[in-house]
Amino acid sequence: MSPCRHEVCTKFRVLKLILAMVMEDSKLNEFVLKISALWNEQKRREVLYLEALKKDSMGPLRKLLTQGHFSALLFQKEIHWIYDYFKCFLNDKDLVNSAEVNSDSVQALHNLEEKAEVADVLKKTEGKILQSYRSLYKYIEREPETKRLLDEHLERISEFYEILSKQVIVKRSEISHPFAA
């Protein structure tokens, strides 16, 4: 190989390495933004469960609502740890509680009194959060600890989603068969 050609190959390799680093940095920035959005969704989830607990008509759902509230608090804390680990201290801001998220969440449940209606709002929230978790998997291939933690969250939220889905289905079947024995 001629010296000139070797030099071109070396420069090409260096450019390829730089491009790979830029792509990794871009992927990291996307991941940090998605983690931040997930934290906000978990904050909304926390407020929704807490607001649902304040309703008088939630009787048999109280245990589930309490578990949902506490899991949202725990997941926020763990997501915050992930965010702090991956964020760039020069560019990325700290996660903050948004009053707007809180008021929107409270408003979503404000006029609802039926268990099935509340369960439906919570189920839709859980479904959205499940999608957010799944969208993170392409970013965490080389982070087994992060993947394990997110898998645990995904599993638990899936359980909430299933239980809430059953509550909504029970109410729909009661509506369609009001005089069933």
Residues 64-113: tens digit of each pLDDT: 999 999 999 999 999 998 888 877 665 667 777 766 666 776 777 778 87
135 neighbors 34 (Cβ within 8 angstroms)? yes
Could you tell me the pTM of the whole model?
0.77
Asked whether residue 3 carries a pLDDT value surpassing 90, the answer given is no
Q: What is the Cα–Cα distance from 170 to 60, expressed in whole angstroms? A: 13
Q: Tens digits of per-residue pLDDT, 40-53?
A: 999 999 999 999 99
Closest CA to 135 of 34, 25, 32, 23: 34
Query: What are the boundaries of each domain within the chain?
Result: 30-176
Question: CA-CA distances (angstroms) from residue 152 to 94, 105, 108, 137?
Answer: 24, 25, 27, 13
Asked whether residue 8 carries a pLDDT value surpassing 60, the answer given is no
Chain centroid to Cα 126, Å, comes to 8
Closest CA to 1 of 72, 94, 12: 12
Q: Is 1.20.1260.10 the CATH classification of the domain at 30-176?
A: yes
